[in-house]
Amino acid sequence: WTQVNSDILPTSNTIYNIGSTSSSFNAVYAKDFYGNAHYADVYFSDVECCVCNQKFKEEDLIVFKVIEVTEKEIRTLPVHLHCLKR
């Protein structure tokens, strides 16, 4: 393992990549992600709908409930689709 204890910065803006189409990383672990995710799976730490308090299960249809909007981000919570009218 190679560990770093400082920022990793490119010498020029928007020129360099991490990985490639033929040699990619398996997983990236980070507290925050800023940028564009063109293809991504979405994972939530919330396991219950904030409206009905029922646990999500496979095949549930969900939507996002916006809970905060700032200049830089939109914070959301997952909600069952059928809970929208409640």
**How confident is the model over 40-67, as a mean pLDDT?**
89
C-alpha angle 9-34-46 in degrees, rounded to nearest 5 = 135
Confidence label for 86 from pLDDT (cuts 50, 70 and 90): low
In the chain, pLDDT over 90 holds for what percent of residues? 36
Name the E strands within 1-86.
62-69, 74-80
Query: Does residue 56 carry a pLDDT above 90?
Result: yes
CB 16 within 8 A of CB 10: yes
Model pLDDT for residues 25-40, shown as the tens digit of each residue = 888 888 888 777 777 7
Average pLDDT score, the chain: 87
Enumerate residues 6+ apart whose C-beta is below 8 A from 68: 74, 75
Amino acid 81: pLDDT: 95
